Each structure stands twice: as C-alpha cells, then as structure tokens.
Structure 1
Amino acid sequence: MKKSIALSLLLTLSLPFGQAFAAEGPPTYRISGVDRYETSANISYEGWETSDVAVIATGQDFPDALSATPLAYKYDAPLLLTGTKSLSDSVKGELVDLEVSKVFLIGGAVAISANVENQLKELGITDITRIKGADRYETSVNIAKEVGPSEGIVVAAGQSFPDALSIAPVAAQLEAPILLTNKEGLPKSVAEYVDSLDSVSGSLVVGGEGVISNNVMTQLPNPERLSGKDRYETNSEIITYFADEGILDMDYPFIATGQDFPDALSASALAAGYYNGVILTDPKKPYPSTKATVKKYADLAEGYIIVGGEKALPTSVINELLK
C-alpha cells in the first residue's frame, strides 16, 4: 500500500482526488470521482502505489462482486470496477500506474465481456483469471476456492447487497470467504462446497430472518447470526461486534451510502487494509443506529474517510452524522 490514511488527511490540499471539510472534531476526507469507476480508481490511488494484482468486478450489478473483497485482500490488491463492455479511462490509467501484471475478473461474459479482456491485453496484462459460475452462488463458491482454506465462513444474502458489504472488510481481515445464499436454503453449489470443508469451525450469518431463514442456519457448521431490523442496524451490529473484539481499529472509519453498492464495494478492500470497517448511512438522513455507532467510537476516530461524491452522500448528511 502507498500511504497511510493519516497522511492523506494531512496532505489533503495537495492531493487531486480528496476533499477535506472543516470540523470541530476529527477531520473528514472524501474520495470520489465523476462516476463509480473513477471513484474506484481514486480509492486505489489512495491505497496503492504499485500492485502486481488487481481484482476487477462489474460496477453494473452487485451479485458477482459481493464476494470479491477477501480475494483482493489476499493479494493486497485494489478492487476496481468496470462497465460490462469496456474499461473506463480512469481504471485503465490506474492499472498502468500500478504496474499490474495479473488481473482477476469476477463474473462471466454477461457481467464483464470479452472486450474488457482484450483491453487488458492491450495494456500489456496477459495474466487474466476469470472467476465465474453458473449463477451468483456458484461464483461465490469459486471465489472462495481461490481465497483458500479458512477456519470460518461468512454467509450473506445473494438477493441484496448491504449485509455483504457490511461484513466484507471484516471477512477479508479474517481471511474468510463470503458465500451467498437464498433465503430459504443453501443453493446446491454452496451446500456441496460447505460439505466439502474439513477445517471450518464456525459460520457467521449476516442479516435477519427476513433475508436468511433459520433453515439455512441448520445447514451450516456452528452458525452464529449478526443482524438488525434493517440494513443500517445490521451494519452497526457488525461494526460493534468486531470493534469490541479488536478486529476493527475504528481510527479511520470509512463512510459510504447504504443505498447503492459500488462505492462501498470499492472501499471495502482499502478499509480492510487499514483494519477499519465501512459504515453505511442513509444518504438523506442518518438512522439512529448509525449515529449511535459513530458516537460510540468517536473517541477512537482520528479521521473519517467519506466515499463517493456529493450526489451519493451529501456533506450535510455527513455533518449530521458526525455532529
């Protein structure tokens, strides 16, 4: 990785992508771009000076991308986003600047077309591994196989994105794969993979019974559930649990919108590298659970990293959250 978040905060005025806001408390530092693709490139710029490996996921839909963060963490690699048919100029530029020689593409040709592979080869990147499956569930299994053996697994809903995003930085730090599931039962590919595991001592299920039923719990080794009444309370429960366990430092928490997936997904790999979580907030008005979480760890925070532009997450909302 290139530089510490603390240094980024101190050098805000000299950096091209960040924007700081005056505040009575710890400073805030925003990483954004003109779109989700440039935002992902700028997040990478803040975290990595060079990287042999990059993980690239689609920025158009969430399922394939949700399990990618532990893979990026394994290789100390940024998680960049692409359109279905082509790489953005900002991402191309970042791949060149990083001197990337190997890329993992997440998802099949419907998610990321062969033209993206051709563009990577034009950049001189010929070591390309595509990880895909017949569906989002099998894709999560194949990513898990690439991540490698783990003492535990994480299971999240495959039909929505917030819970998987909330756990992604933690799963990465624990080197645990994120497996996706249906509400009523494990998909066949996931169930077979779980049955094949010898070393797994426990399973963490993220999300309430409204997204993952108790029937799924019966199919997992030593399951434990973390959930709340909505995406923001679930996010708070995850952050509180792992901060209190000492897994999350909470010195530079990341904050992203909970209404869309791209910004938080790109940030999750960088947040994991700095042993921090991603706090999801409603972009119109912070929920009480989110405000309570920020307040609980305010004494630990040396600064806050805001991910995404004003349209995604207005400064007024950030000020309301942090006041």
Structure 2
Amino acid sequence: MRSPRRRGPPLARQPNRGRTVPRSSRSPVLLLAAAALVAASIVAPAVAPASRAEAAVSTSRLAGADRYATSVAVSRATPARNEVVFLVSGVKFPDALAAAPVAARERAHLLLTHPDRVPDSVMRELARLEPAEIVIVGSEASISDAVRQQLWDSTGARLTRIGGRDRVETSLLLLERLERADPMTRAWLVSGRDFPDALVAASVAGATGGGIVLSWHGTGPGDAAAWADRLAPYVIGVPLVVAGGTPSVPSSDVALLEARGALDTVRLAGANRYETAIAINRAFPPAGDPSSILLATGERFPDALSGAVLSALAGTPLYLSPSQCSGSVTPLLASVASNQGYTATIGLGSAAALSDAALRLGPC
C-alpha cells in the first residue's frame, strides 16, 4: 500500500502540475467559436439576447454528423499537444469518464471510437495529429483488438492499452498513469452505473489535478468492502469529493472510503443532474475570467465526455442542459450565465442533441 499523502485544504483550488502548462499559455476561450468553424460546418449563427436579461449574447457549436465526428470537432478546438491521443468507447461511458482527467493532465486529445472499428472521421483526425502514442482505453470487451489492428496498420503511433478486468480496475490503471507525473490533488467519487452526475466532475477533475474513482460493486456479502479495499491505496490521505446525491453514490460507499483513509469528504449534489453540474462548477470556479461556457446535453454522455478535456484545458466551464429548451432548467442556466458574466454559449453536438432554443438560454 502506498504511503499516506499530505493532507491539503478541503476544496482548495490547487494548480495543475506535472506535464500541464500554466493557464496563461492557454488559448483564449473566445477562439473556440472560431475553431468550431474549422472543425465542423454545423455552427449556429450568433443570436441577439432575448427579451429576458439572463439570455446569453451569442451561440456557436462544436458538432459533427455523429458523436464520433463531434469528438473530432472538439479535439480540433482543444488547446492540447499532439503527442498523445486517448481513444475511448463511444458507446460505454465508465472508461471514458475516468480517462478524461488523465488526458487533461497530459494535455492530450480524447477521441471516440466504435467498439469494433475507428470511424473514418476519427482516422482523419489521427492522421492530422500524427500522435506519437495512442492510448486505447478499456479492455477488448470495450474496444476490440480489431481497433488495435486498424491503428497498427494505419498509423505509426505507439499503441498502449489501459484496460482491466472490469471498469473499476480500468479506472485504477488510469490513476496509475495519472500519478506518474504527480499524485492527484483529490479523488472524485462518481457513479460507475450511470453517467449524469459524473460528467461535469470529469471536466473539473481534469482542471484541478484530480482523478476519478468509481462507485461500482456487487450486492453480495463483502462485495462493497472488497471494492473499498481495492480503492484504498489510491484514496488514503486524499480529499474526497462525491459527485451527485445518494441515489448516484450511496453514503455507505463514502463511509467505507473514509474508514480507509479518505479525507475531508464533500458531497456536491443538486436536485437533478443539471443542478449537480451547477453545484460542482460553483465549488470549483474556473481560473481567470472566461467569457464562455460549454453546454452539452445531460441526456446522453458522448458529447459531454468529448468536451471534458476541452473544458479542463481551456478553462471553460461545462454545464448540462436537457436536449430541448426546458421551462425550469433553461432559465436556471440563463441566470447562472448572467450572474457569472458569461456572454456566449458553445454547444457540444448538433441541434439533434442540443436544440437551438436550449443553446440560446432564452425563453422557450
């Protein structure tokens, strides 16, 4: 077991370390909209504020014909290095969720793939990036060996697979890679069964040097304790942030990790996935003075997962919205944008994923 880590102040923002670079060198957030024009041809025109004062000033999109092409559009807008690309499943969320903070720590790109083949749009992006290493995230049950063979035949990159016997082991192997640069600043405990509350946690963890651990185990005698024992070496002496309410992450799981040495536990949760995203961003505001927010549907995971690395590296907070304009959630997001001084929303995904009305944050 690893030696206990130094205790840090609860919820204190700590700078990224290791291979990341200072925020001052990051591309300005407003350049993302311009990058979107290059990355994808689906860009909504700027719109004037609606009659409600809270409405955002302008909108744009990072989008493609499907989730894989959208991940390419996001990759092109991400101020990352080109040396490493993380390739994650576009149909399963747990591995990709845990990979996002690791990719952010390495200032790497993150792209989605089919389980059995790399889409043409993603292959073209890999050819553009010419990475020295492609990290395939997940076991062969998540991303088949046919994908590895396709990459071997088509790229000159070194291929690395990070995959365990289950989603928990994969997440821990990702933490091992993350900590080669420096120990994580805090552990984010998220549901390994459902994605909504965990989506924004991945982006904030990436921005603050944190890592993802999954609440996921069987219901038999001793299953929960065995799960906690597996996580113990990674959480001992580390502040613990729980993303979501008890339906997502049971209090009993939190207590098991606290008993094994996790520190200063804070639960960030709202009445629903949208309010949980707001609570997480409120607790971990972006450094600097960003003028834009990223907005993704909270009803599906791929677009938000693609945007997690972009959010972390650009210092642009990620929020979630229903796919369609909502009489309750949209005004809440508009109020957040107004109160924080955001003047633009950058939608992740096409209008089929996030409607124009939802993106505008105006009256429905």
Q: How high is the TM-score relative to the length of structure 1? A: 0.90
Residues in 2 aligned to 1:49 and 1:206: alpha-carbon distance in whole angstroms: 26
| Counterpart in the other structure of 1:236 | 278
Q: Do the aligned partners of 2:35 and 2:76 also contact (CA within 8 Å) in 1?
A: no
Superposition pairs for residues 134-173 of structure 1, below 5 Å? 134-148=165-179, 149-173=183-207
Matched, 1:295 2:319: no
Stretch of structure 1 that moved more, 142-151 or 43-52: 43-52
SS at match of 2:143: coil
The change in CA–CA distance for 1:190 and 1:174 in structure 2 (over 3 A counts) is farther
Matched, 1:23 2:64: no
Superposition pairs for residues 24-43 of structure 1, below 5 Å? 24-25=48-49, 26-43=57-74
Residues in 2 aligned to 1:157 and 1:49: alpha-carbon distance in whole angstroms: 28
User: 1:186 offset after TM fit, Å?
Assistant: 8.0
Q: Do the aligned partners of 1:294 and 1:322 also contact (CA within 8 Å) in 2?
A: no
Aligned amino acid, residue 40 of structure 1: S
User: 1:152 offset after TM fit, Å?
Assistant: 1.3
SS at match of 1:219: helix
Q: Do the aligned partners of 1:242 and 1:248 also contact (CA within 8 Å) in 2?
A: no
| Counterpart in the other structure of 1:178 | 212
Q: What are structure 2's unaligned runs of at least 5 residues?
A: 1-24, 50-56
| Counterpart in the other structure of 2:266 | 224
Aligned length: 321
| Counterpart in the other structure of 1:210 | 247
Q: Do the aligned partners of 1:51 and 1:77 also contact (CA within 8 Å) in 2?
A: yes
SS at match of 2:342: coil
| Counterpart in the other structure of 1:271 | 311
CA shift digits 1:84-106 (9 cap, x unpaired): 11001110110110111101111
Q: Do the aligned partners of 1:80 and 1:266 also contact (CA within 8 Å) in 2?
A: yes
Aligned amino acid, residue 108 of structure 2: A
Q: Do the aligned partners of 2:334 and 2:362 also contact (CA within 8 Å) in 1?
A: yes
The change in CA–CA distance for 1:101 and 1:190 in structure 2 (over 3 A counts) is farther
Q: Do the aligned partners of 2:46 and 2:60 also contact (CA within 8 Å) in 1?
A: no
| Counterpart in the other structure of 2:146 | 115
Stretch of structure 1 that moved more, 13-22 or 113-122: 13-22
Aligned amino acid, residue 360 of structure 2: N
User: 1:76 offset after TM fit, Å?
Assistant: 0.6
Superposition pairs for residues 18-97 of structure 1, below 5 Å? 18-25=42-49, 26-48=57-79, 51-97=82-128
The change in CA–CA distance for 1:293 and 1:95 in structure 2 (over 3 A counts) is same
The change in CA–CA distance for 1:4 and 1:126 in structure 2 (over 3 A counts) is same
The change in CA–CA distance for 1:50 and 1:250 in structure 2 (over 3 A counts) is closer
Residues in 1 aligned to 2:176 and 2:224: alpha-carbon distance in whole angstroms: 16
Relative contact order, higher structure (CA 8 A, sep 6+): 2
User: 1:200 offset after TM fit, Å?
Assistant: 3.3
User: 1:257 offset after TM fit, Å?
Assistant: 0.4
The change in CA–CA distance for 1:198 and 1:67 in structure 2 (over 3 A counts) is closer
The change in CA–CA distance for 1:3 and 1:126 in structure 2 (over 3 A counts) is same
Aligned residues: percent identity? Answer: 30
The change in CA–CA distance for 1:2 and 1:226 in structure 2 (over 3 A counts) is closer
Stretch of structure 1 that moved more, 253-262 or 225-234: 225-234
Stretch of structure 1 that moved more, 11-20 or 274-283: 11-20
| Counterpart in the other structure of 1:252 | 292
Residues in 1 aligned to 2:139 and 2:282: alpha-carbon distance in whole angstroms: 36
SS at match of 1:306: strand
Residues in 2 aligned to 1:190 and 1:145: alpha-carbon distance in whole angstroms: 17
Q: Do the aligned partners of 2:81 and 2:109 also contact (CA within 8 Å) in 1?
A: no
Residues in 2 aligned to 1:47 and 1:98: alpha-carbon distance in whole angstroms: 12
CA shift digits 1:216-249 (9 cap, x unpaired): 1212312111111211111121122222xx5585
Q: How high is the TM-score relative to the length of structure 2? A: 0.80
Aligned amino acid, residue 68 of structure 1: A
The change in CA–CA distance for 1:81 and 1:322 in structure 2 (over 3 A counts) is farther
Aligned amino acid, residue 226 of structure 1: L
| Counterpart in the other structure of 2:354 | 313
Pairwise CA RMSD of aligned residues? 2.6
Residues in 1 aligned to 2:74 and 2:348: alpha-carbon distance in whole angstroms: 8
